[in-house]
Chains A and B, each alone.
Chain A
Amino acid sequence: EAGVTQFPSHSVIEKGQTVTLRCDPISGHDNLYWYRRVMGKEIKFLLHFVKESKQDESGMPNNRFLAERTGGTYSTLKVQPAELEDSGVYFCASSQGITSKQYFGPGTRLTVT
């Protein structure tokens, strides 16, 4: 069974540009989560989808971040326009049930210069 996959693995963009990150959860997992880890700090929750619906988006930093999960399969996280403080590693995780174990993808390392 394939695990959670994320694309791209690395992205370097300039301040003001737009970047879109993609996450493909484990097949059959209705719950999909986005997290972010800024250098040296803890992994922070961004938002949670149940199928295509946003269950909890309390961790989204501001309206420059837009997450979608059309069709309830893969998800995208768009940052527009990117700022320097957006740099970090963005992780996606998925789980079968809302209280089930979460399995993480390898992350996308975003660098904004």
Chain B
Amino acid sequence: GQQLNQSPQSMFIQEGEDVSMNCTSSSIFNTWLWYKQDPGEGPVLLIALYKAGELTSNGRLTAQFGITRKDSFLNISASIPSDVGIYFCAGQLTSGTYKYIFGTGTRLKVLA
């Protein structure tokens, strides 16, 4: 079945550093969504991408929809302690169904 490979699985970074994570697949997607999940909470939508090549920012977060429509990345600049959490990418398939496929998540830990 369709699969999203998200990397890295986890990362420790120093406060103030920039972070980059990405999702790749062999499938083509219509839409990419990036979510953040805090412990005990549901995923919260960070950024939505709708067109190949689209680059969108939300504060310190920037995400891009890959040109091939098979990948996306999320960058966080100048990380702060509250950036800690699990980040998920989700891609919406292009044909037959509108369901989203999720990546396995990137667990981010920020060292003050």
Contact present for A42 and B105 (CB under 8 Å): yes
Q: How far is the CB of A42 from chain B (nearest CB, A)?
A: 5
Q: How far is the CB of B108 from chain A (nearest CB, A)?
A: 16
Kindly specify which of A62-70, A80-88, A94-102 makes contact with the partner chain. Answer: A94-102
Is A22 in the interface zone, CB < 8 Å from B?
no
Contact present for A102 and B40 (CB under 8 Å): no
Contact present for B41 and A106 (CB under 8 Å): yes
Q: How large is the interface on B (under 10, 10 to 19, 20 to 34, 35 or more residues)?
A: 20 to 34
Kindly specify which of B12-20, B53-61, B63-71, B92-100 makes contact with the partner chain. Answer: B92-100
Is B74 in the interface zone, CB < 8 Å from A?
no
Q: Which residue of A lies closest to B45 (CB)?
A: A101
Contact present for B105 and A102 (CB under 8 Å): no
On chain A, the residues within 8 Å of B40 by CB distance are: 106
Contact present for B45 and A41 (CB under 8 Å): no
Is A74 in the interface zone, CB < 8 Å from B?
no
**CB within 8 A of B103: which of A4, A33, A42, A55?**
A42
11 contacts between A and B (CB under 8 A): A41-B104, A42-B102, A45-B100, A45-B102, A55-B98, A58-B97, A98-B98, A101-B33, A102-B90, A105-B42, A106-B40
A interface, CB within 8 angstroms of B: 4, 6, 33, 35, 41-45, 48, 55-56, 58-59, 91, 98-99, 101-107
